Amino acid sequence: MSTEITATIFSLFKKYGHIVYGEKMNVSSHSIQSGLIAKEKGYDEELILSAFLHDIGHLYPLELEDSTFEKMGEYGIEQHDKWGAVLLEKLGFSARLIAPVKNHVDAKRYLCYANKSYYNELTEASKQTLEYQGGPMTSEEAAQFEADPFFEDSILIRRIDEEAKAPDFVITDEHWQYFSELLDRIQE
Ligand SMILES: [Fe+2]
Ligand SMILES: [Fe+2]
């Protein structure tokens, strides 16, 4: 792949990453925190990028003319998980990188079904959006989700999603540099 793809992604963050969707930090901060937590946990580069890009679907539809996206009130783009996957598929990323992005709302719905305390730990915004997203999974939906080949990876990234919400996190140039290099490298 090419640095053109990196440029496409960076341009979305540059134009729209400052947007705040109901949380106490903007999309860029949340995305960088997510990627760095995946790195700290020792996950491989595919999963680090998956974490970094999991909410790109909040930004990508804003770029499309005549886009059919709907908003979840102040909480961002409805189906942003699927929008993110659409973009990443278009850019040619691997199925394993894309799956946790595509599944991160389902993984929340799954965890709310499987683990009662998980719901209580969600931020207020995350609880609110759960309503838009269909609420906790049913047992049938959960069984189906467990059969997804990327189920485990999707749960790992979802857990990071909730951790990556420090309001006072400061983004540096080095952070952007790190993800830019990672994006270039994964495309080789
Ligand atoms: Fe999200
Ligand atoms: Fe998120």
pLDDT tens readout for residues 139-182: 999 999 999 999 999 999 999 999 999 999 999 999 999 999 99
How much distance in Å is there from the Cα of 184 to the middle of ligand 1? 24
How much distance in Å is there from the Cα of 88 to the middle of ligand 2? 16
pLDDT tens readout for residues 17-44: 999 998 999 999 999 999 999 999 999 9
Q: Are 30 and 23 in contact (CB under 8 A)?
A: yes
The bound ligand whose nearest atom lies closest to the alpha carbon of 162 is 2
Confidence of residue 65 (pLDDT cuts 50, 70, 90): confident
**What residues have a C-beta under 5 A from ligand 2, the ion?**
55, 161
Count of other CB atoms within 10 angstroms of residue 84: 27
Give the span between the Cα atoms of 186 and 108, in whole angstroms: 27
CA distances from 123 to 9, 27, 108, 166 (A): 27, 15, 12, 11
The bound ligand whose nearest atom lies closest to the alpha carbon of 31 is 2
How much distance in Å is there from the Cα of 161 to the middle of ligand 2? 5
How much distance in Å is there from the Cα of 130 to the middle of ligand 1? 10
* Domain parsing of the chain, residue ranges: 3-186
Where is average pLDDT lowest: 43-47, 115-119, 139-143?
A: 115-119
Give the span between the Cα atoms of 41 and 18, in whole angstroms: 26
How much distance in Å is there from the Cα of 80 to the middle of ligand 1? 7
Query: 3-186, what's its fold?
Result: Hypothetical protein af1432 (1.10.3210)
How much distance in Å is there from the Cα of 110 to the middle of ligand 1? 14
DSSP state of 136: S
CA distances from 159 to 23, 34, 104, 154, 184 (A): 16, 10, 9, 9, 26
Give the span between the Cα atoms of 111 and 92, in whole angstroms: 29
Give the span between the Cα atoms of 125 and 152, in whole angstroms: 24
Count of other CB atoms within 10 angstroms of residue 71: 13
